[in-house]
Amino acid sequence: MVSTQWSWDSARLIALVLNALYGLEQYYNSCYKDLNADGLFGLRIIEGHLKSIQEHVDGRGVDSEIMDEIRNLSLMASMIANKSLPFVASRDREYFNEYQFLLHRPYKMNFIPQRTNERFRWKEKQLKTSKSDKIFPPPILLAEKQSSRCFIELLLANSNLTLKPYNCHLSIDCMERMLNQRGFTGYQLTRQILYVSIALQVYIHIQFSCAYRY
């Protein structure tokens, strides 16, 4: 395997990120009984992404201390998330059941480097800032009412946690809002990105109820 060589600056930044994750996990561990679904989901993201990084760089000559820290942080995130599961579930069983596909397992994304197609870059006039972008504090990421139904469409069929592929129908209004609506910024844009990321996680074959224009 090709050795992964980092500059001093790169190694320093990696150490700072890992240290920040350690501090975050220590805080979450101190209040695991009080975590909400967003906090639990955040732990699954840490767990899954660190696992993906570990698998990607394994055998490439990365410093053993860094690899050990990545492994330990992923394991710690998993442990805290598992401890918090019953407390998150007890506060809102219906909501927990709807999103359990995201909350029961590590959230892994294996992005493949690729060039950006400049034709997809939004023009300045296509950008707008909606009132909801300026809400402070921001709405809860998974529970915001306007588009929560769209997330549930992706997740509800997976409530039995099976990995067996199944067919599902996504409503046209959700597809338009979450995939085809341009101009969102801030929080609303984050919702769109999260929707696409979750769609890539769910083991489904999407059947379109009518032709969809991309």
Element (DSSP H or E) covering residue 119 = none
Q: What is the pLDDT of residues 137-189, one digit of tens each?
A: 454 555 555 567 888 877 764 544 444 444 556 778 888 888 887 777 777 78
What is the per-residue pLDDT for 161? 42
User: How far, CA to CA in Å, does 83 sit from each of 25, 69, 79, 96, 99?
Assistant: 13, 21, 6, 15, 17
Peptide bond into 139 cis (omega under 30): no
98 pLDDT higher than 70: yes
Mean pLDDT lowest among 7-21, 127-141, 168-182, 195-209: 127-141
For residues 76-82, give the mean pLDDT.
98
Using CA atoms, how far apart are residues 196 and 150, in angstroms rounded to an integer? 11
- Element spanning 194, H or E: helix 186-201
Following CA atoms 88, 93, 99, 101 in sequence, which dihedral angle do they give, to the nearest 10 degrees?
A: 80
CA distance 9 to 43: 27
| Distance between CA atoms of residues 78 and 63, nearest Å | 23
pLDDT at 163 (0 to 100)? 43
How does pLDDT run across 29-71, given as a tens digit for each residue?
A: 999 999 988 899 999 999 999 998 888 888 777 788 889 999 9
User: What pLDDT is attached to residue 209?
Assistant: 37
Distance CA 103, CA 82 (A): 9
More confident residue, 212 or 65: 65
Q: Where are the domains of the chain?
A: 9-104, 126-212
pLDDT in the model for residue 167:
52
Give percent above pLDDT 90 in the chain.
Answer: 27
Report d(CA 171, CA 190) in Å as an integer.
Answer: 20
Highest average pLDDT, of 88-102, 106-120, 157-171, comes from 88-102
8 A C-beta contact, residue 202 and residue 101: yes
Element spanning 29, H or E: helix 8-30
3-state secondary structure of 75: helix
Pairwise CA distance, residues 169 & 29, whole Å = 38
| pLDDT, greater one: 211 or 192 | 192
Task: Please give the pLDDT value at position 129.
Answer: 54
For the chain, the average pLDDT equals 76
Phi, psi of 117 (to 5 degrees): -85, 110
